[in-house]
Amino acid sequence: MDQQASEQTKAIESWVQRLKEGDAEAREQLLQLASDRLRHLTRRIKKDFARIARWEETDDIFQQAVLRLYTAMESVELQSATHFLRLAAQQIRRQLIDLSRSYYGPQGAARHHASQAGFGDDNESPGHHAFEAAEVSQDPQKMQEWSEFHQLIEELLDQWEEALERGQKLAVEELCRDCPEHIAALESKIQALMQMDARMSGKWDDASSTAETLSVKSEISQLMFHAKGGLGAVYRATESELNREVAVKFIHRNLVSNAESCERFSLEAEVTGRLEHPGVVPLYGLGRTDHGRLFYYMRYIDGETLDDAIIRFHRTRPKRGAMGIHSVDFRQLLTSFASVCRTIAYAHNRGIVHRDIKPANVMLGKYGETIVVDWGLAVPVTRDDRFRQSGEASLMPTSGSGSGTASGAGIGTPAYMSPEQMSGLSPAPASDIYSLGATLFKMLTGQPAFFGDNIQKLKQNVLEGKIPRPRNQQSGVSEELEAVCLKAMSL
């Protein structure tokens, strides 16, 4: 078992103990903590059910299995992490068995594939079912026999699992005392279950897994300064092994000894690396220089910022009349903005709030890419029911303690900060939505909704919601886009 799996098992053990102590949030936290592991296991177990893979997505199977697990945890008193993992494996297996029945049973898709013999998962040996697809779908008696067979095997398997949890190991021959013809079928099911348990606990050893730790070395050279922000500076460089251009971000030298800044930098790297979305720059690695300076390197985006594109559009548009909302340039801006919205929606579904959305933090690539960058202020938040139904697992960063910046007080870009962020309230997805509205405002008018050197006055205008109407600032702005902008920025 590798170090990461071992640490996660310890964390699961901790939450199991809290659940036993009556912690009301422990069950949900336990499922969130193990979600990545359960999803990975579901993906691997699905390979054993090759026929099911033709129609079912891994995420759909995973979600249904988690619902089963959540319900099962209400009636089972968990004793340990191993007990939890075994229960999880059981629920994943049962979900796949139910799907197998659905597709290959008398009411399922097998009637449309009568040329395929056999049912259930592909691990079952020939002869476990004495029924051909065509026979079952047309003969009511065969249909009944097929159903009774699966019900019996399921009951016997439950008896075996319950005995195992009590520390007993029942012989298959004893379980099948009254039905010896089913010994081979039950042995196959038990073997598959034990393999699933091993996979869940991280002890499974096959051609696709290895206990060794792989070390990857890379040399980055030819660094040239590119840009800088509040937390770090970005350099353009070359990675020698793959001879590719990359971007390297270093924490500022004066922040190397600042623990809070280092935590934020590590959190930014982890969030960026784990948000797997076309709208988030791919991160290649994290490291530290010989002098202790943190850095991470990522794909280099050759292009311009959304802010640059907005400035150029308004500088070159006609000075009078409509602002060219039907022009190719404006439609390209709107397309990029829609991409930003989808990226932020994905982050919210993972339980991450960006907190610094603005045109300058959006990169537009030469080939149509739209990338949201600078996740240095991002924080994890508790997801509500809407985001839990998205099918995405919560991203629970291991970097950073969250101290000092969790409320968001005093950080961000004032012209794009929401009233609640300006007031130092707890971060929430609504704050990002406000910032998206403020970004759209600049896209429509060519200037921020609030600007000026007097920060106190700007803050007061934000808190009071004194937002000028885009149509009053720029002629030709459509009513529909103005409505979207004002809705996003409403108090």
pLDDT for 254-306, tens place per residue? 999 999 999 999 999 999 999 989 999 999 999 999 889 999 999 999 999 99
User: In this structure, are residues 19 and 81 in contact, taking their beta carbons and an 8 Å threshold?
Assistant: no
Burial per residue of 381-395, b for 16 or more beta-carbon CB atoms within 10 angstroms, e otherwise:
bebeeebbeeebbbb
Other CB atoms within a 10 A radius of the CB of residue 338 amount to 11
Other CB atoms within a 10 A radius of the CB of residue 230 amount to 15
Cα distances (angstroms) measured from residue 296 to each of 237, 254, 274, 402 = 12, 17, 13, 20
Query: Can you give the pLDDT at residue 393?
Result: 63
Distance CA 380, CA 104 (A): 42
Query: Can you give the pLDDT at residue 238?
Result: 96
Q: How many residues does the chain have?
A: 491
User: In this structure, are residues 124 and 191 in contact, taking their beta carbons and an 8 Å threshold?
Assistant: no
Query: Can you give the pLDDT at residue 67?
Result: 79
Superfamily of domain 220-299 in the CATH hierarchy: Phosphorylase Kinase; domain 1 (3.30.200.20)
Residue with tokens 């296991």: 41
Distance CA 297, CA 237 (A): 9
Which of the residues 121, 356, 374, 432 is marked catalytic? Answer: 356
pLDDT truncated to tens, each residue of the chain (491 aa)?
A: 456 667 777 888 888 888 888 877 778 878 877 777 777 767 776 666 655 555 566 677 777 778 778 787 877 788 888 788 778 777 777 777 777 665 555 444 333 333 333 333 334 333 344 344 434 444 556 655 666 676 787 778 778 877 776 677 888 888 888 888 888 888 887 877 676 565 545 554 444 445 567 777 889 999 999 988 888 999 999 999 899 999 999 999 999 999 999 999 999 999 999 998 999 999 999 999 988 999 999 999 999 999 999 999 998 876 655 556 667 889 999 999 999 999 999 999 988 999 999 999 999 998 889 999 999 889 888 766 665 555 566 676 766 544 434 444 456 788 899 998 888 888 899 999 999 999 999 999 999 998 877 788 888 888 888 889 999 988 888 899 999 999 999 88
Residue 60 annotated in active site = no
pTM of this prediction exceeds 0.75:
no
Query: Can you give the pLDDT at residue 289?
Result: 92
Distance CA 77, CA 365 (A): 53
Domain map of the chain by residue range?
Answer: 3-201, 220-299, 303-488
Give the CA-trace dihedral at 156, 158, 164, 170, to 10 degrees.
-10
Q: DSSP H helical segments within 139-219, as ranges?
A: 140-165, 172-175, 183-201
User: In this structure, are residues 347 and 353 in contact, taking their beta carbons and an 8 Å threshold?
Assistant: yes
Query: Can you give the pLDDT at residue 427?
Result: 86
Cα distances (angstroms) measured from residue 304 to each of 76, 258, 296, 366, 370 = 56, 31, 21, 8, 10
Query: Can you give the pLDDT at residue 256?
Result: 93
Per-residue tokens: 403 = 């101290």
Distance CA 415, CA 462 (A): 8
Query: Can you give the pLDDT at residue 185?
Result: 82
Other CB atoms within a 10 A radius of the CB of residue 428 amount to 17
Distance CA 359, CA 440 (A): 9
Query: Can you give the pLDDT at residue 108?
Result: 43
Cα distances (angstroms) measured from residue 214 to each of 2, 118, 210, 211, 217 = 11, 42, 10, 9, 10
Q: DSSP H helical segments within 166-305, as ranges?
A: 172-175, 183-201, 259-274
What is the crossing angle of helices 328-349 and 429-445, to 10°?
170
User: In this structure, are residues 429 and 345 in contact, taking their beta carbons and an 8 Å threshold?
Assistant: no
φ/ψ of residue 475, rounded to 5: -70, 150
Per-residue tokens: 49 = 């059910």
How is 79-123 classified by DSSP, letter by letter? -SHHHHHHHHHHHHHHHHHHHHHHHHSTTSGGGG-TTS---S-TT
CATH topology for the 303-488 domain:
Transferase(Phosphotransferase); domain 1 (1.10.510)
Residue 167: in which H helix or E strand, if any? none
Distance CA 116, CA 119 (A): 9
Its sign, for the CA torsion 230, 232, 236, 242, is negative
Other CB atoms within a 10 A radius of the CB of residue 101 amount to 20
